[in-house]
Structure 1
Amino acid sequence: MTGTPRTLAEELRTRTDRGLAGLLRARPDLLNPVPGDVTQLATRAGTRASVLRAVERLDRFVLQTAEALAVAPDPCPYDTLAALMAGDAGDPEVAAELPRAVAELRAQALVWGPDDRLRLVRTARELLGPSAAHPSPTGLGPTVAEAAAGMSPGRLQEILAAAGLPATHDPVTAVAALTGLFTDRVRMAALLDTAPAESVAVLDRLLWGPPYGGVTDRPAPHLRWLLDRGLLIPAGARNVVLPREAALHLRAGRAHHTPEPVPPALAPVTERDPQLVDNAAASQAFTALATVEELLKEWDLGGPAVLRAGGMSVRDLKRTAAALDTTEQLAAFWLELAYGAGLIASDGEADERFGATPAAEEWLQLPDHERWAVLIGGWLAATRTPGVVGTADAKGRALAALGPHLDRSPAPEVRRRALALLASLPPGASVPATAVLARLRWERPLRGDAAAGQIPAPAAGRTPAAGGSATPPVPAAPAPADDLRSRLAQGTLAEAELLGVTGRGALAAHGRALLDTGTDAAPSPSDTGATAHRAAALLAPLLPEPVDHVLLQADLTAVAPGPLERPLAEALGVLADIESKGGATVYRFTPASVRRALDAGRSAAELQEFLAAHSRTPVPQPLAYLVDDVARKHGRLRIGAAAAYVRCDDDALLSEILADRRAAALRLRRLAPTVLAAQTSPDQLLDGLRAMGYAPAAESAAGDVLIARADTHRTPPRTAPVPVPDGPPSPDPTLLTAAVRAIRAGDLAATAERKPVHTPAPAPGALPRTTSAETLATMQAAVLTHSALWIGYVNADGAASQRVIAPVRVEGGFVTAYDHTSDEVRTYPLHRITGVAELADDSV
């Protein structure tokens, strides 16, 4: 193809296969389904949903460039764009980065045309350009021509006269003369030199937006001076607007208050010993494993009930936080971490409860570094966000831990990008979280801010301008620190520290290995798991080795000098209570804990042998006496089901129990010298007598002692929750190659030269007939040229009609147009248009 491309489709046809593949890689939504030809690709690239997704992924400077193009003439020469970005004084950094920004917009098909005729696609111009209901992000208002569109010719001539311009013969030349004045730096400066100080103050208040202000029915003299010279133009009964050309003169030609051509620096940098960072991260990784293990132990017999709407109640979350000795927010994180790794789930029963899954049993048997890899693999890919637990959903209801509506699809991308920024620093180096958040906001300024297809405006509301009011203008809204992307990044940095990915704010060596996927695209779940295991291999030497002994002390405590081997930890957890945790765990032996071990079926001799085998110090005499004393009393009282009874060979002991006032609630009576009957259940009787200081044992109907070993509760096999994707996945090279080949083939078939075939003009009263491709192409061309068309249309009832329309927009299979036949704006489905023809003359 030769010459300047007239449409985006023509420009895309000139691209190489590599260029088309780059476009499809940057905007994967264009591939679903694969376009039939380049025309379909260009049409899809101009739809509102696709353009909005592409704009959301621009960095701040590229977005500022697109915003400048939205307020620039269409088409816009490169030099004009450079002047809008750098201003009259120029900016070397802007000049150096602007070619990159334009190239990025071109690569994503948001800008097309040569440098002397740059065109922003129509949908992007509508999104980023100014309107009365939606100000431009630049803070600029409409042009003089747009603002004065409804002004009478006489009023225009009055403005020209007040501004010192000669009269003209028609409104078009009057607007052109006023525009020429505002864009002439010398004449405009001379005009403003004669302005009252109050008038200049009003212009300063409207300068950076919003450009609209309010006036009364009788404006003050300084406002009347501005209105008489067109520096403020009426925009309704009580509103005025600052024309774009005048604002640009006052801004010294700059479209933006502060262009940001380079990203914020990651500073200040704090240097630490990398080995110290790795050790701190490994210590925290081990603590994370212990916390999840404690959670599984807490839910070993069954977790809390599932709410009818899903998730845990606030009371159960508080109870879990107390059991883990942490805050409710951190408890929600540990719960979601275990849930994302498939270690806990709901059991799906009628009285649905949470519990550990069969996978939790397998996880507990793995080495520590492999258990960490399972947790990290789930965390990296998870879209569930524990940070939103407790906040309100769209209906005002609080979001529950392990409940629905916690997925935030940008989470994996934000998580990896935040870690990648830390990885860009030298080993052992860290920066404040605010520096990371500032860089992320520069890279995706609109991510999480654009809602319902709208781009955030620079400010909300209008600036009062009447009567010389001293009310300050509404300031431009700064980049929000609490937008979704920032909250996700803050959560990532905190969670990475909790999981041992970072240590003291710096990325550890095994944390860097998590980012080594070998590709820039988002990794698949299998790739994530593989990188997690490679990182775990680096972590393994840093984790403490399990020990097989404790240090028994005379104060009835045992000190574990490190993590205990699993069988030893489980047995000691039954025999003693954990008193404190840390580098060394302290266990406390009490009569209740020893009785718990005896209830589990261990004898006094076995307990003494266990303590002697696993202690590096001799068994203290107080501990040996405690075990023997509790064992001597254990089982003297036997409790069975009558409803319940108490049996004891020592009738004096039974008499003592009967005489005790605390036994009144058990409603005991003597059946025989050695047997008491109770009107409570055996479990209540056991608890009651233990509360009184006795050591009863339950027995079966045959008189054998029942071993109190509770059954664990496990859910049926459950898979980990599937992450919610953030839009279409990135296409792989094979798909890109096939898609480009299919688009080229379809385009060749659509544009191949054919023998000329004479198509007779439709008879008077007959509907025009054209193919779907011809209809779409003619409609799109009419939108660009603002021309009217003759169409044939068949409505839903099958009634055919002929119409003359002026197309305004073609999108999503519909054309929005002004219908000259019905004198209104209407929307027509393209598949109901039988054909289209250009009018022979411009008679409409």
Structure 2
Amino acid sequence: MTTSRETGGTGTGPRTLAEELRTRPDEDLAGLLHARPDLLNPVPGDLTQLATRAATRASVARALDRLDRFALQTAEALAVAPDPCPYGTLAALMTGDQPDDPAVAAQLPRAVATLRGQALVWGAEDRLRLVRTVRELLAPSAAHPSPTGLGPTVAEATTGMSPGRLQQIITTAGLPGTHDPVSAVASLTALFEDRTRMAALLEGAPSEAVGVLDRLLWGPPYGTVTADPAPHLRWLLDRGLLLSTGPGGVVLPREAALHLRAGRAHRTPEPLAPELAPLAEHSARLVDATAGGQAHIALSTVEDLLAEWETAGPLVLRAGGLSVRDLKRTAAALDTTEAGAAFWTELAYAAGLLASDGDVDERYAPTPAYDEWLRLPAERRWTHLATAWLATTRTPGLVGDRDAKGRTLAALGPGLDRSPAPEVRRRVLDLLAELPPGASVSADTLLARLHWERPPRTTGDDLRTRLARWALEDAEQLGVTSRGALCAHGRALLAGPAEAAALLAPLLPQPLDHVLLQADLTAVAPGPLHRPLAQTLAVLADVESKGGATVYRFTPESVRRALDAGQTAADLTAFLTAHSRTPVPQPLAYLVDDVARRHGHLRVGAASSYLRCDDEAVLAEILADRRSAPLRLRRLAGTVLAAQAAPDILLETLRAMGYAPAAESAEGDVLVTRADVRRTPQRTAPAPVPEGPPIPDSTLLGAAVRAIRAGDLAATAERKPPAEQPATSASGLPRTTSADTLATVQAAVLTGAAVWIGYVNADGAASQRVIAPIRVEGGFVTAYDHTADEVRTYPLHRITGVAELADESA
């Protein structure tokens, strides 16, 4: 890349940005298109189109947003500098009258090269020119003060001022009078730029006037005065140190402010990125082990979420997403906060494990990919989640906020995509990866670095700042970081999932095939359980607490749940005996036997429903119980009661009364009830919403540069003037007769020369091209098209005209 110091110049450099782009090598053009990929959509026809597109307001604003702080400060200095600006003048604006900052002098060429590489600055070293659109975007005004805090120049601020008022100002300032407004403005400007005379002028200023200048010095430079200003304000107004901007408005002119600032455009130039000073250093082994444990918790949480939703997933809101009530229920089920529940649901959704089923009664449910994910080893299941988190543009941190229309953003709903999210997440991890293993930095230090690399548009809490904070929190929850430090498998994740999985595998706890039964009707799982064991145990007992060890509690309801699922007392006892390292406690054995003895003793069927039992005393007890009154029971026989309630209501009421009834079929068999496991149809993970066009690869860049060069050749190649100049169309395309076109093309085939043609395609789009004809036959000309960089065939009747090139070697 050619820097500003390497270009040199004698004052006769390029006159436009397009002319300078023509002098740049292909590598520089490829670098420009890589840095500003929006310029490639579509590929410019020539370098003039490229220069025009590079100066559009939207493209320039996008490019400015991607500058680091010092490059942006350099552009801001050029925006308030003379146009064109010599490199020495720019350096003086950045360092001031006393250049005592070697970092600024060392980094300024790099900043100028960055601006030049992105086509925001052009021209030789002695004539640096800021693209006009950049100057307009950074130009100061009363409504939008300059980022440098500088106001307009004396010439700009005095536009429209009466000659008489100008004469009063220069006379009061001690300058010779002149009736020419241009001379008066030039004289006042020269006074403010003269350090010696300006210092002498300010020596006589009242102290209050100096205070006013100090307040306006670093911006904003605008203020207000009354119709009858105080004496110290009148002193400043009379000498042009404050110039009127309208009724009651004044401004400190740029030249005066620069004198007071000792020539500096910025209060604090920031040529170097803030250092990432480690806040704490932990043992790398401890960080990896802790992150591995958190990765296991992340897997368990996602599994618990999808297991909860595979039988009775929440309904999808009409506008899409999860209701606030369902989010709270999910948070309670996962033993986390609502923000945490939003993160886990969005993570499962981004990984393609969760989606809506699309039914009329639309609900959320696991996808078929969830079953495939469960069959993977634990470390690969984690990398699947982590890579989905890195790439997704969905931002769960926004859940609960309001959109532009005032609607609340819901988890899994629309409006949560933020295009910069993947870039910010990866940059946060990249910065953490620069630290030694086990070292962490404070969030404020990390944000200061990110703000230098991509300065926020406002001083408030901008989106990228929020995204960075959320990235730090999410990385901790997911097990990518621990104690603020990036773990080993987190570092490897930046390179690819395979290496990350290999590093994570030994850190994950091995699943167990046993529990410890205790006499208080609990079972302790000292670690993660094999999935079949965990699933069966979750039916037989309720989870009481989670953590390093999971505690399950056996209750009559949980045992009845297992019996309803088709298990028998013998099955349950055998299961507990096989998977417990301790003997089955007597209270637990009694509980299983007692519930099993009463299970199915009562039978419920449809009458509306009926209730039968071989023990007439039990039926009599139920009839006498006041709680059975809503069922409107009636004895049909000694062992049969009829109910005016549906069978499911009858079952639920009897269980609430403390009985253990079982449903039966029409044939009298006990019905085994299992919750139906739901799966959605095949679904794909949500596609990230890109931030602008994708970054082009080297192949596309090379092809684009060749096409632009070829198009520029066709647009700028010098034509050989024939004896009789051919006519041209309004679009500038040559116009020749069919006979002249055929003769010229045939001659070019014989000589191997390149020619310039006008061509109209089948859609009516006109273009100009430089071609080297190979053969002419059947009304078609086959030629090498320099514009497309390939051999093409053109119908002769679509060629509007042809002209020879003055330099055939072109």
So what's the TM-score if we normalise by structure 2? 0.87
Kept in 1, the 8 Å contact 2:278–2:435? The answer is no
Partner of 1:179: 189
For residue 553 of structure 1, report the CA deviation from its aligned partner. 1.0
Alignment of 1:655-674 (within 5 A): 655-674=620-639
Partner of 1:7: 16
Specify the code of the residue in structure 1 equivalent to 2:488.
Answer: A
For residue 373 of structure 1, report the CA deviation from its aligned partner. 1.5
Partner of 1:488: 467
Pick the aligned partner of 2:38 from 29, 33, 51: 29
For residue 157 of structure 1, report the CA deviation from its aligned partner. 1.2
Residue 507 (structure 1) aligned with residue 472 (structure 2):
no
Name the CA shift for 1:93/1:573 in 2 (closer, same or farther; >3 Å): same
Counterpart Cα distance in 1 of 2:450 and 2:296: 30
Counterpart Cα distance in 2 of 1:346 and 1:546: 31
Alignment of 1:81-96 (within 5 A): 81-90=90-99, 91-96=101-106
SS in 2 for 1:619: coil
Specify the code of the residue in structure 2 equivalent to 1:593.
Answer: S
Pick the aligned partner of 1:738 from 692, 697, 703: 703
Counterpart Cα distance in 2 of 1:772 and 1:539: 65
Residue 59 (structure 1) aligned with residue 38 (structure 2):
no
SS in 1 for 2:611: strand
Specify the code of the residue in structure 1 equivalent to 2:415.
Answer: H
Counterpart Cα distance in 1 of 2:724 and 2:343: 70
Alignment of 1:195-344 (within 5 A): 195-344=205-354
For residue 756 of structure 1, report the CA deviation from its aligned partner. 4.2
For residue 88 of structure 1, report the CA deviation from its aligned partner. 1.4
Specify the code of the residue in structure 1 equivalent to 2:476.
Answer: E
Specify the code of the residue in structure 2 equivalent to 1:755.
Answer: K
Specify the code of the residue in structure 2 equivalent to 1:428.
Answer: G
Counterpart Cα distance in 2 of 1:340 and 1:279: 26
For residue 770 of structure 1, report the CA deviation from its aligned partner. 6.7
Task: Deviation per CA, 1:48-86: give whole Å up to 9, x if none.
Answer: 111111000000010000000000000001111111111
- Greater mean alpha carbon deviation, residues 130-139 or residues 98-107: 130-139
Partner of 2:668: 703
SS in 2 for 1:515: helix
Kept in 2, the 8 Å contact 1:281–1:503? The answer is yes
Pick the aligned partner of 2:687 from 709, 714, 722: 722
SS in 1 for 2:590: helix
Counterpart Cα distance in 2 of 1:41 and 1:599: 73
For residue 321 of structure 1, report the CA deviation from its aligned partner. 1.0
Pick the aligned partner of 1:771 from 715, 732, 736: 732
Kept in 1, the 8 Å contact 2:278–2:439? The answer is no
Counterpart Cα distance in 1 of 2:610 and 2:79: 88
Specify the code of the residue in structure 1 equivalent to 2:128.
Answer: L
Kept in 2, the 8 Å contact 1:302–1:714? The answer is no
SS in 1 for 2:15: coil
- Greater mean alpha carbon deviation, residues 91-100 or residues 699-708: 91-100
Kept in 2, the 8 Å contact 1:552–1:558? The answer is yes
Give 4+ residue runs of structure 1 displaced > 4 Å after superposition.
Answer: 756-760, 767-770
Partner of 1:130: 140
Specify the code of the residue in structure 1 equivalent to 2:48.
Answer: T
Counterpart Cα distance in 1 of 2:588 and 2:291: 38
Kept in 2, the 8 Å contact 1:302–1:356? The answer is no
For residue 555 of structure 1, report the CA deviation from its aligned partner. 1.1
SS in 1 for 2:566: coil
Task: Deviation per CA, 1:547-579: give whole Å up to 9, x if none.
Answer: 001111111111111100000001111111111
RMSD: 1.8
Partner of 1:166: 176
For residue 131 of structure 1, report the CA deviation from its aligned partner. 2.5
Partner of 1:836: none
Counterpart Cα distance in 2 of 1:577 and 1:770: 80
Pick the aligned partner of 2:525 from 540, 552, 560: 560
Pick the aligned partner of 2:581 from 592, 597, 616: 616
For residue 768 of structure 1, report the CA deviation from its aligned partner. 12
Counterpart Cα distance in 2 of 1:97 and 1:543: 47
Residue 386 (structure 1) aligned with residue 396 (structure 2):
yes
Name the CA shift for 1:678/1:759 in 2 (closer, same or farther; >3 Å): farther
Name the CA shift for 1:436/1:758 in 2 (closer, same or farther; >3 Å): farther
Task: Deviation per CA, 1:309-353: give whole Å up to 9, x if none.
Answer: 111111111111111111111111111001101111111222222
- Greater mean alpha carbon deviation, residues 362-371 or residues 178-187: 362-371
For residue 501 of structure 1, report the CA deviation from its aligned partner. 0.4
- Greater mean alpha carbon deviation, residues 300-309 or residues 173-182: 300-309
Alignment of 1:515-664 (within 5 A): 515-516=494-495, 531-664=496-629
Counterpart Cα distance in 2 of 1:757 and 1:103: 45
For residue 268 of structure 1, report the CA deviation from its aligned partner. 3.6
Counterpart Cα distance in 2 of 1:687 and 1:532: 49
Task: Deviation per CA, 1:119-173: give whole Å up to 9, x if none.
Answer: 0000000001212332211111100000001111111111111000011241111
SS in 1 for 2:310: coil
For residue 20 of structure 1, report the CA deviation from its aligned partner. 0.6
For residue 716 of structure 1, report the CA deviation from its aligned partner. 1.4
Counterpart Cα distance in 2 of 1:141 and 1:168: 26
For residue 642 of structure 1, report the CA deviation from its aligned partner. 1.0
Counterpart Cα distance in 2 of 1:145 and 1:772: 45
Alignment of 1:798-813 (within 5 A): none
For residue 302 of structure 1, report the CA deviation from its aligned partner. 2.8
Alignment of 1:325-364 (within 5 A): 325-364=335-374
Counterpart Cα distance in 2 of 1:310 and 1:274: 43
Specify the code of the residue in structure 2 equivalent to 1:587.
Answer: Y
For residue 534 of structure 1, report the CA deviation from its aligned partner. 2.8
Specify the code of the residue in structure 2 equivalent to 1:309.
Answer: A
Task: Deviation per CA, 1:487-537: give whole Å up to 9, x if none.
Answer: 000000000000000111110111111212xxxxxxxxxxxxxx1233122
Specify the code of the residue in structure 2 equivalent to 1:496.
Answer: A
Kept in 2, the 8 Å contact 1:289–1:372? The answer is yes
SS in 1 for 2:43: coil
SS in 2 for 1:439: helix
SS in 2 for 1:210: coil
For residue 759 of structure 1, report the CA deviation from its aligned partner. 11
Counterpart Cα distance in 2 of 1:570 and 1:769: 79
Kept in 2, the 8 Å contact 1:21–1:736? The answer is yes
For residue 772 of structure 1, report the CA deviation from its aligned partner. 9.2
Pick the aligned partner of 2:56 from 34, 43, 47: 47
Kept in 2, the 8 Å contact 1:271–1:430? The answer is yes
Pick the aligned partner of 2:476 from 497, 516, 533: 497
For residue 665 of structure 1, report the CA deviation from its aligned partner. 1.9
Counterpart Cα distance in 1 of 2:610 and 2:731: 96
> How many residues are matched?
723
Counterpart Cα distance in 1 of 2:724 and 2:595: 107
Pick the aligned partner of 1:69 from 74, 78, 81: 78
Runs of at least 5 residues in structure 2 that lack an aligned partner in the other structure: 1-6, 735-810
For residue 718 of structure 1, report the CA deviation from its aligned partner. 1.1
Name the CA shift for 1:588/1:169 in 2 (closer, same or farther; >3 Å): same
- Greater mean alpha carbon deviation, residues 543-552 or residues 164-173: 164-173
Specify the code of the residue in structure 2 equivalent to 1:599.
Answer: D
Task: Deviation per CA, 1:349-398: give whole Å up to 9, x if none.
Answer: 22222122121222222221111111112111100100111111001111
Task: Deviation per CA, 1:727-786: give whole Å up to 9, x if none.
Answer: 1101011001111111111111222111347999x9xxxx9967399xxxxxxxxxxxxx
Task: Deviation per CA, 1:660-714: give whole Å up to 9, x if none.
Answer: 1121122111000000011111111111111111111110000000001111122
Kept in 1, the 8 Å contact 2:163–2:179? The answer is no
Counterpart Cα distance in 1 of 2:386 and 2:290: 17
Specify the code of the residue in structure 2 equivalent to 1:535.
Answer: A
Partner of 1:792: none
Counterpart Cα distance in 1 of 2:538 and 2:377: 20
Counterpart Cα distance in 1 of 2:624 and 2:206: 103
Name the CA shift for 1:173/1:416 in 2 (closer, same or farther; >3 Å): same
- Greater mean alpha carbon deviation, residues 383-392 or residues 133-142: 133-142
